[in-house]
Structure 1
Amino acid sequence: MPELIDVAIVGGGPAGLAAAVTLGRSLRTVALVDAASPRNRFSTHAHNVLGNEGISPADLLAKGREEAASYGAALVDATVTRITGTRGDFTVFYDGGEVRARRIVLATGLTDVLPELDGLAEGWGTDVLHCPYCHGYEVRGQKIAVIATDPGAAHQAKLFGNLSDHVTVVPLDHRPDEEECAELTRLGVVVSGSTAARAVRENGALRGVELADGTLVKADAAVVAPLMRPNLELYESLGGRPETNSAGVKCVDTGEGGKTDIDGVWIAGNVSNIGAIVISSAASGVSAGAAINMDLIEEAARANG
């Protein structure tokens, strides 16, 4: 039977690695199991990461892994298949082995599901974007097509309209209402009268969005709101009960530091906050690590009382 360690972390993105560093610096024994499929793996650069502006996601994670290992965290490259047990003695099963831990951090992230539009997925993370704060600066002044899939499209168009005078909203599954169209027009944003038919690519680069009427909206970049699905399978398998928000997305209502309704289990990163960017995901990992460290201290105090 494997030795019982303090904390097992599932997921090695910014949230999981930050938790591992925080716990390691608190002299906790830690194992981090990661399947090596970070959400931002399609992007070439990460932004708004203080002190590491523009770093490649791969390089950022490599630095984080090195830091976590320097504080004693065991890094396991594998996919977790299931978790059993309860507070004080969980078992995390992964391809080729298992680890026992007194506490669990789930930093399993989320999956972006793009709308079904030919030519869109090929550019995801390069010239097909969703966040103006992550990649908007890089497409400033360019021709931008906002693919409208939900009511948030007008909001996206306003944000990208602040970065370029050449923004066109192209309806797909949603069309802005009359009031929104009037407001966008006042801001210099064009709203297409026809719907999107396909994204046109040439030599690997986006050239525009072809409309149902056959015309082409020229674009250097497309903006789209993916359906964000938190990876909650392990949380639910342990008895967790996510809630469905107004957008139809399953979410976890966590307590301080990411504590969940499952005793001994914490959550960090996009799995609980779909809007978290790299640096805020890392911050949530630090909070989870600190909360678990205190929980273990308090448990020891009660046991010795």
Structure 2
Amino acid sequence: MAADVFDVAVVGGGPAGLSAALSLARARRRVIVFDAGDPRNGVAEHMHGVLGHDGLPPSSLLERGRREIEQYGGVVAGGRVETVHVGSGGIEVDGPSGPVRARRLIVATGLRDGLPEIAGLRGLWGRGVVVCPYCDGWERRNDTIGVIAMGPRGIDQAHQLRQWSDRIVYFPNDLGEPGSDELRTLEGRDIRIERGRVRAIRSSEGRVEAVELLDRSVAVETIFTATTLHPRDQLLRDLGARTLDDADGSWVVVDPDGRTSVEHVWAVGNVVDRRSNVSVSLGAGSLIAGAVNADLTAEDIARSMRAQSGDER
């Protein structure tokens, strides 16, 4: 059976992918979105700092987006895409219900947060244990906030959170003693330092109660920490997309319009940009959709010119 043919296939149904698909569907492009249903912020009960949607559950935003895309004739398909083939005949996506052909591909598969291996932490992720002050700082204002350092940026995180609460407890954990200059800045802002290895997080009924060190327990109400970022970019790597290593890992490279090094393949959102929160992803999806549509329009013009000249290649 012949594969369905679309102008654009979008792999990833988070804010970036849905935003791109909505703009393209409104541009009367035939669009299909493959949504594995595993968004990065799926554990969060509410979004914050998203203009016009502050406090809205992330699942509600995505549900609205899917309906809007379908309203303009786009297709949203559930399931995970494992392989994509790019060749002279176009792009073929091995979708859950069979092959789908497309002229262009947008990968918006996001990233996965690797959580610190601390007993009791995983079950509190997205509730009592969080990572982004701009997403959760207001809701934790005036809490006793524990900052568990997982790298040198932990001190920066502690200083940043000081504007939300004057009760910040910094846990150097395995990083050891802060340097003399760092120590002065922490003490100068009344940030308490609790030295020693963190062995567990104690909680009750889903609420953080304390950070357990090897020899004592320190009461806190909220924990901020850092995660290891794992972009879900295997599809892009399998296609041979160029990557670049930095202090935060290895990332697929895109130009300002989201174009990868693979012809006719774009990428947007957390899969290529660690800074893309919901608001940034929504804007980036719209921007990249415009670039993809312009590329399709250039191809449409070229085809029309060839047809006029009798060259049907």
Given that 1:144 and 1:167 are in contact with CA atoms closer than 8 Å, whether structure 2 keeps it comes out as: yes
Distance in 2, Cα, partners of 1:194 & 1:178: 17
> Is 1:257 matched up with 2:257?
yes
| 2:8 partner amino acid | V
SS in structure 2 of the partner of residue 125 of structure 1: coil
Q: Could you tell me which residue of structure 2 aligns to residue 302 of structure 1?
A: 302
Distance 1:255 1:168 in 2: 40
Judge conservation of contact 2:174–2:196 (CA < 8 Å) in 1: no
Which of 175, 182, 187 is residue 185 of structure 1 equivalent to? 187
The question of 1:290 aligning with 2:275 is answered no
Alpha carbon RMSD of aligned pairs, Å? 1.2
TM-score by length of 2: 0.94
Report the Cα distance in structure 2 between the residues aligned to 1:292 and 1:138, rounded to whole angstroms. 39
**More divergent stretch after superposition (172-181 vs 285-294):** 172-181
Runs of 4 or more, structure 1, over 6 Å off, are: none
- TM norm structure 1: 0.96
Tell me, in whole angstroms, the C-alpha distance in 2 between the residues paired with 1:49 and 1:87. Answer: 41
Give the whole-Å Cα distance in 2 for the aligned partners of 1:143 and 1:276: 28
Separation in 2 of the partners of 1:18 and 1:93? 22
Q: Deviations over 1:53-101 (max 9, x none)?
A: 1100111111111111111110100110100123661111122322110
* Counterpart for residue 48 of structure 1: 49
2:114, 2:230 within 8 Å by CA — same for their partners in 1?
Answer: yes
Q: Secondary structure at the match of 2:83?
A: strand
1:253: Cα distance to partner? 2.1
State the alpha-carbon separation in 2 of the partners of residues 177 and 70 from structure 1. 57
Q: Distance in 1 between matches of 2:172 and 2:53?
A: 36
SS at match of 2:175: coil
1:109-124 equivalent positions in 2, closer than 5 A: 109-124=110-125
Mapped to 2, the partners of 1:25 and 1:88 lie a distance apart of 26
- Once the two structures are TM-superposed, the CA of residue 212 in structure 1 deviates from its matched residue by 1.6
The answer to whether the Cα contact below 8 Å between 1:86 and 1:264 also exists between their aligned partners in 2 is no
1:194 and 2:196 are equivalent in the alignment:
yes
Instruction: Extract unaligned runs of 5+ from structure 1.
Output: none
Matches within 5 A, 1:205-244: 205-213=207-215, 215-244=216-245
Partner of 1:168: 169
Look up the SS of the partner of 1:183 in the other structure: helix
CA positional deviation for 1:159: 1.1
Tell me whether 51-60 or 204-213 shows the greater mean CA deviation.
204-213
Structure 1 distance, partners of 2:180, 2:87, is 54
Q: Deviations over 1:248-269 (max 9, x none)?
A: x111221132111111000110
Larger Rg over CA atoms = 2
SS of match in other structure, 1:111: strand
Residue of structure 2 in register with 1:22 after alignment = 23
SS, match of residue 154 in structure 1:
helix
**Identical amino acids, percent of aligned pairs:** 35
Question: Letter of the aligned partner of 2:302 in structure 1?
Answer: R
Q: Distance in 1 between matches of 2:105 and 2:303?
A: 20
Given that 2:3 and 2:98 are in contact with CA atoms closer than 8 Å, whether structure 1 keeps it comes out as: no
Tell me the SS of whatever aligns to 2:174: coil
For 2:253 and 2:45, locate their aligned partners in 1 and report how far apart those are by CA, in whole Å: 32
The within-5 A match list for 1:90-109 is 90-109=91-110
How far apart, in 1, do the equivalents of 2:72 and 2:156 lie?
43
Q: Secondary structure at the match of 1:48?
A: coil
